Amino acid sequence: MFQDRYTLAFRLYPYARSVDQDAAAPAHHRVVVVGGGPIGLATALDLGRQGHPVLLLDDHEGVGQGSKAICFAKRTMEIAARYGCGSKLVEKGVIWNLGKVFHDDRKIYDFNLLPEDGHRFPAFINLQQPYFERFLHEQIVAEQAKGAPIEIRGKNRVDAVEVKDDGVALDVMTPEGGYRITADWLIACDGASSPTRKMMGLDFEGKVFQDSFLIADIRMKSESFPTERWFWFEPWFKSGASTLLHKQPDDVWRVDFQIGWDVDRKEELREEKIRARLDAMLGAGVEYDLVWSSIYTFQCRRMKKFRHGRVIFAGDSAHQVSPFGARGANSGIQDVDNLGWKLGLVLEGRAPDRLIDSYDEERRHGADENILNSTRSTEFITPKTKMSHIFRNAVLELAEHHDFARGLVNSGRLSVPCTYDGLSLTGADALPGGPDRTRPGSPCPDAPLGAGFLLDRLGGGGFTLLTIDAEAPETFVEDGITVTRLALSAGDGPALRERYLGGAASAVYLLRPDQHVTARWDRFDAAAVRTALRHACAKD
Amino acid sequence: MADLILSPNLPRPDEFYANLIAAHEGLTDDESAALNARLILILANHIGDSEVLEEALRIARSEA
Ligand SMILES: Cc1cc2nc3c(=O)[nH]c(=O)nc-3n(C[C@H](O)[C@H](O)[C@H](O)COP(=O)(O)OP(=O)(O)OC[C@H]3O[C@@H](n4cnc5c(N)ncnc54)[C@H](O)[C@@H]3O)c2cc1C
């Protein structure tokens, strides 16, 4: 009746009977989150830190074991830093910059991510997803201790959703039987096979790639494999049509073999069979433990709409990508960051309900960009026709000797946040000569400020008016929304000019709570800022 | 942003054609296909102009 679908890496929230189970009438909640994967946990954390009561229901008692995400992008660390757990990720994670690409038995080239200086966080870290989720949960516990109204109920499975105009009613199953609750808002973070989506009869369309990947995490004490990303196309050791080797914390390596579409899963997952592939690749003498293995097929698809009245989909429930490019969890965390402040303002009655529509618009735009990129990578790695295979190999052959072809090699374009160019909330660009990378809609790039960093100084959860060598009031209130100024001078940090001023002598940026640029000017103009702020809150 | 040139532009067309065919001499069909692919990539990079390339793709495709 209540069976785990997966084994746990960490048991974090054991089942405990809640008062709702003994209530005479269904208890009411403002916000319920279904699913305690990374996206559900981050959603609860975001809302709870704002002081909004949030109830998270998960059908297990903690974090699942298994080979899922390992690459976390700078943007995710920056968001986690705002939640209070950014440093933990970096301390535990493995920082890597160097990648090598092989074809058959030849190294065709190597690349350095060449991260730009002057950011608090590295471009990427590798970290097992269970750690990522555990750190989010630890932060939830820390916030609860400070009074954040977050409640997590383990082994509480949502079995039915009844959608109304002004909320939902949920049937929840526990090991001790079922109960019913109601909620104003439901955030569905219940993963790619989202029961919520299915119960509501909603679409999830896209492309399935006709290939399978055997993923093995192995522990070895080896000096011969450095902290780099190694990718083989058609490797000489024949363990797969492509193979990826990538370092994780705790002396664990991710190995990823592309093994074809028509495979006997049970047979391929036999330990001897997996070891045969690994031995061919690593060489006979290398000793290792098999930590985890599984077979995946990949797809790129999304829902047509992420918002359905009072039900909002975030993370894999709304969109799914192939892992090439590490865009799954990383984009889901951006969903949360986008939704958090908007839902917060709507819950407080400080912005109209239609602000939530902009979540739908902006994050569908993000999902499309991620799907496009990961589809292209997947097509390069797993060519579908003879001709695309010929072109793929022509690129690889040329790349060995000619620089130009390296830009065409696509073993994954790593996740970067998207710019909300031309979307509803994005305002005016009135900064002549301003850098392209900080045009309205862009996520703010970090920059060093004295001993610290710019992003740590922005916002504290609200709107910020960043002024560089420009006058402006210290705070600014418009229709219940406060904007706080951060006054800087070009001399305060070496990267400010390049990242925020460009050819301009002064700049005023209006920044959203999720640190995206709303609008920018060369000087403070109260009427213009007021308009942009109202616009960014969907007020007109 | 140049337009795709569709008027005669090769100074010695017969010579170019002969060289193209000669480049494939002695190759299997698969090897020839690979050579063509490399050639297209090299030329595309040389052209570099995405509008010209898209126009060329469109015209090549419409002849099929
Ligand atoms: C092999 C592989 C490699 C990957 N690598 C990367 C990477 O490097 N970087 C990256 O960013 N992403 C990567 N991803 C993607 C990443 O794992 C997912 O995007 C991420 O897990 C999505 O998180 P989520 O919270 O949306 O969903 P999930 O992690 O699927 O969590 C859903 C949660 O909902 C719960 N749930 C389901 N149904 C119910 C119900 N009825 N009631 C209550 N709870 C329910 C589940 O138990 C689960 O806890 C990878 C994925 C795979 C498969």
Statement: residue B13 has pLDDT above 90: yes
pLDDT given at position A256: 95
Let me know whether A132 and A45 are in one domain.
yes
Let me know whether A59 and A137 are in one domain.
yes
* Tokens 């990378």 belong to residue: A437
Let me know whether A337 and A444 are in one domain.
no
pLDDT given at position A189: 98
Let me know whether A194 and A337 are in one domain.
yes
Report how far residue A241's alpha carbon sits from residue A266's, in angstroms, rounded to the nearest whole number.
19
Structural domain contains residue A130: yes
Of A254, A406, A404, A504, give the one whose Cα is nearest residue B43.
Answer: A404
A378 contacts: CB under 8 Å, gap ≥ 6: A209, A298, A300, A322, A324
Structural domain contains residue A309: yes
What mean pLDDT comes out for the span A8-20?
97
What mean pLDDT comes out for the span A304-320?
98
Let me know whether A455 and A350 are in one domain.
no
Determine contact, residues B49/B2, Cβ cutoff 8 Å.
yes
Give the pLDDT band of residue A1 (cuts 50, 70, 90): low
Let me know whether A59 and A132 are in one domain.
yes
Statement: residue A236 has pLDDT above 90: yes
For residue A256, give the ligand 1 atom closest to its CA: 1
Judged by CB atoms closer than 8 Å, whether chains meet at A394 and B38 is answered as yes
* Tens digit of each residue's pLDDT (9 = 90 or more) over A470-528: 999 999 999 999 999 999 999 999 999 999 999 999 999 999 999 999 999 999 999 99
Q: Which two tokens stand for residue A70?
A: 């390992």
Give the pLDDT band of residue A285 (cuts 50, 70, 90): confident
Which of A353, A369, A385 marks a domain boundary? A369
3-state SS class at A506: coil
pLDDT given at position B1: 53
Let me know whether A35 and A148 are in one domain.
yes
Smallest Cα distance from B38 to chain A, Å = 5
The boundaries of the domain holding residue A164 are 8-83+124-203+302-369
Which of A319, A346, A369 marks a domain boundary? A369
| Residue A493, domain CATH | 3.40.30.120
Which of A344, A369, A394 marks a domain boundary? A369
Structural domain contains residue A440: yes
Let me know whether A312 and A457 are in one domain.
no
Average pLDDT over all residues of chain A: 95
Determine contact, residues A486/A458, Cβ cutoff 8 Å.
yes
Interface predicted TM-score of the whole assembly (ipTM), two decimals = 0.96
Structural domain contains residue A244: no
pLDDT given at position A255: 96
Q: Give the best residue of A234, A391, A392, A397 to mutate against chain B (max B CB count within 10 A).
A: A391
Judged by CB atoms closer than 8 Å, whether chains meet at B33 and A408 is answered as no
Structural domain contains residue A242: no
Measured in Å, residue A150 CA sits from the centre of ligand 1 at 21
Statement: residue A103 has pLDDT above 90: yes
Helix axes A38-49, A74-83, angle to 10 degrees: 40
Let me know whether A334 and A439 are in one domain.
no
Give the pLDDT band of residue A2 (cuts 50, 70, 90): confident
Let me know whether A328 and A438 are in one domain.
no
pLDDT given at position A221: 80
Structural domain contains residue A229: no
Let me know whether A437 and A359 are in one domain.
no
Of B55, B8, B16, give the one whose Cα is nearest residue B39.
Answer: B16
What mean pLDDT comes out for the span A159-187?
97
For residue A40, give the ligand 1 atom closest to its CA: 25
What burial class does residue A74 get, using C-beta atoms within 10 Å of its C-beta: 0-12 exposed, 13-18 middle, 19+ buried? buried
What mean pLDDT comes out for the span A316-344?
95
Measured in Å, residue A191 CA sits from the centre of ligand 1 at 5
Domain count, chain A: 2
Pocket of ligand 1 (CB under 6 A): A 34-40, 57-60, 67-71, 129, 157-158, 189-191, 195, 215, 296, 315-317, 323, 326, 328-330, 332
What is the percent of chain A with per-residue pLDDT over 90, rounded to a whole number?
89
pLDDT given at position A377: 92
> pTM of this prediction?
0.95
Q: Ligand 1 atom 15: the closest Cα is on which residue?
A: A328
Let me know whether A309 and A196 are in one domain.
yes
Smallest Cα distance from A401 to chain B, Å = 12
Structural domain contains residue A183: yes
> What residues of chain A lie within 8 A of the CB of B43, using their CB?
none
> What residues of chain A lie within 8 A of the CB of B38, using their CB?
394, 397-398
| Residue A21, domain CATH | 3.50.50.60
> What residues of chain A lie within 8 A of the CB of B42, using their CB?
398, 402
Q: Give the best residue of A398, A409, A410 to mutate against chain B (max B CB count within 10 A).
A: A398
> What residues of chain A lie within 8 A of the CB of B45, using their CB?
404-405
